[in-house]
Structure 1
Amino acid sequence: MASKNLRLIKTLWGIEEPISASLFLDIRNEGYHGVEVIRLAYLFDRDNLVNSLNAAGLSLVCQIHTSGGYLDNGEYIYCGSDSVEDHKQDFRTQLLEAKDLLSQVDMGGFINVHAGVDAWTLDESVDFLSFALDEIEELRKSEKDLIVTIETHRQRLFGSPFQARELISKLHSIEKIQSLKLNADLSHWYCACERVFNKEKEPDTNWWPGLLKSVADRCHYIHARFGWAQGPQMADPSAKECEVDREVQLETWKILITEQLDRDDKRDVYCCPEYGPSPYLATLPHSQEPVASLTKAVKYTKNSLEKLYSEL
């Protein structure tokens, strides 16, 4: 295997402290290489974000939400349209915006995209993806190191494994597949399909190994969150009752990481132990008190990733 580093990214999702050099120095001292932010982090206070990143020596992952990423009467709009054309034009706008922002970050970074709409037909999905991949490749003519990943995320194009399988097959047939890079956030698939896929057990033995290999071949980033059949994140992944699903997911991450280590390139392996606050983190009725510690879930998963990587 090639000698590559594990680069841990910390999401600012769930962190209430304002962006500052002090916050980012603390994150670096926790052992993180960079942070991942949504558009609001640079839409209103770009200079502060850039200065804080550079002061702390952190890289940046820009998370784009096509046809979203803005406030409307104080409400965050995640996906404000189902029009393919709206998503195309917004992708172009946000791609250029993020590319320009990354050029100001001393440690660089990359772009991660929640792309499109799950309700689109296959033809609509392929139309958008073809456009998006062409836009990325056009930028790479002048920014050859630019990495843009498409996330496997519910409500979006790769919202389920079976959508992903159809899209990957179609991109193969039109010779667009070489440009596709994925962020594997497989916790979304587990709750969408109400099971953690296990290549050793029915009903997943016939289809999951092949699709996982296809995802691994295109995986350039991992949102490593322990999910389960009824939700995208375990409240406390260290719990004994989580052990079986946890071990299956560690084996899946091992496959994704090993594929990246075996590639004949110099890119390190990027993982984010991404957990979110309520409603991702379960809360008690009425009081809305969290049932577990978000900080502890992130730390446990970070430690699990580091241990897994050291064993590889």
Structure 2
Amino acid sequence: MTIKFYAPLWGNTLPFENFCANVSEAGYNGVEMDLPLEYKQRDDLLAILKDHGLELIGQYFQSFETNPKANLDSYERYLNHLIAAAPVLINCQTGKDYFDFEENLPLFQLADRLSKESGIPITHETHRGKCLYSAPVAKKYFENLPELRICLDISHWCNVHESLLKDQEEVVDLAISRTDHIHSRVGHAEGPQVNDPRAPEWEEALSAHLKWWDKVVQLHKANNRDLTINTEFGPFPYMPTLPFSEMPIANQWDINVYMMNLLKDRYNK
């Protein structure tokens, strides 16, 4: 069982070549990112990743269409585009929180079919605004879709449920049992991202997330399944800024590298 770490492209302001050099030097295995639909741009980015020995996790977040059929058509287009790049995994912010179960279901069915046809795993993220936005809603999908695998970004659920989920342990354990990919951002009761996980005032929130991730790692070790982790602390507006100046109160890159090293030290023993 191996654990690989991926840097988020989200928030990067450097030229992609420079970003990838930093990612490789920091000790990441790859990058999680979306790909432009223009083929030349896509191929240029893939070539830079390859030059730096970095793997790709494809990212889908473009669930903008409010009509379920249009959303499904766009989903298929983006998934096929990502599959053509041969990523190690595709992570999706699937569906809408205001679509009902029957309207979101075709998205999961499509992803399952494309995953089996391509051999590329596809995970569905526990993200606000998407179909798995809350613990009790996700439970219905887990119960009806036994092959559903997820990206556990449990920081969103902390925010949605305004708690560290001590009253929803059963559903959290069910989600953990379905996890193949982790976004290791630390959330809290009033937001999806603490300002700096190194600060002592966030010790309880960090500890709760570490215990959840520990359970995922233990399950993967027991089943000899590889695990991928994206250290997905984000920029503004996830990252708080000082008023008027818009100066971030912490460094996104430094926090993500800290989280990677913290988890490497914790699990790669």
Determine if contact 2:196/2:250 at 8 Å carries over to the other structure. Answer: yes
Cα distance in 1 between the residues matched to 2:163 and 2:51? 43
What is aligned with 1:221? Answer: 181
- Match of 1:134, SS state, is helix
List aligned pairs for 1:1-312, cutoff 5 A: 4-20=1-17, 22-40=18-36, 45-65=41-61, 68=62, 79-102=63-86, 108-137=87-116, 139=117, 143-144=118-119, 146-171=120-145, 177-178=146-147, 180-198=148-166, 204=167, 207-208=168-169, 210-264=170-224, 267-310=225-268
SS in 2 for 1:45: helix
Query: Are residues 47 and 130 of structure 1, via their aligned partners in 2, closer, same or farther at CA, if it must alter by over 3 Å?
Result: closer
Does structure 1 conserve the Cα–Cα contact (< 8 Å) formed by 2:7 and 2:30? yes
RMSD over equivalenced CA pairs, Å:
1.8
| Distance in 1, Cα, partners of 2:38 & 2:26 | 23
Gapped regions of structure 1 (runs ≥ 5): 69-78, 103-107, 172-176, 199-203
d(CA) in 1 for partners of 2:35 and 2:46? 13
Query: SS at 1:7's partner residue?
Result: strand
CA distance in 2 between partners of 1:42 and 1:280 (Å):
29
Is the contact between residue 88 and residue 132 of structure 1 (CA under 8 Å) also seen in structure 2?
no
Length-normalised TM-score, structure 1:
0.81
SS of residue in 1 equivalent to 2:27: coil
| Cα pair distance change 1:56/1:279, threshold 3 Å | same
Total equivalences in the alignment? 269
Q: Structure 2 length as normaliser, TM-score?
A: 0.93
C-alpha displacement at 1:38, in angstroms? 1.9
**Structure of higher CA gyration radius:** 1
Q: CA 1:44 to 1:237, structure 2 compared with 1: closer, same or farther past 3 Å? A: farther
Partner of 1:9, secondary structure, is: strand
Letter in 2 for 1:189: W
Q: Secondary structure at the match of 1:154?
A: coil
Name the CA distance, whole Å, in 1 between partners of 2:122 and 2:219.
18
Instruction: Give unmatched runs, 5+ long, in structure 2.
Output: none
SS class of match (1:197): coil
Q: Distance in 2 between matches of 1:182 and 1:147?
A: 10
Deviations 1:182-237 (A, max 9, x none): 10011111111111123xxxxx1xx41x2223222221100001111111111111
% identical aligned pairs: 27
Alpha-carbon offset, residue 128 of structure 1: 3.3
Superposed displacement of residue 136, structure 1 = 2.9
One-letter identity of the residue aligned with 1:303: N
Shift of 1:242: 0.7
Structure 2: which amino acid aligns with 1:13? W
Secondary structure of 2:229 counterpart: strand
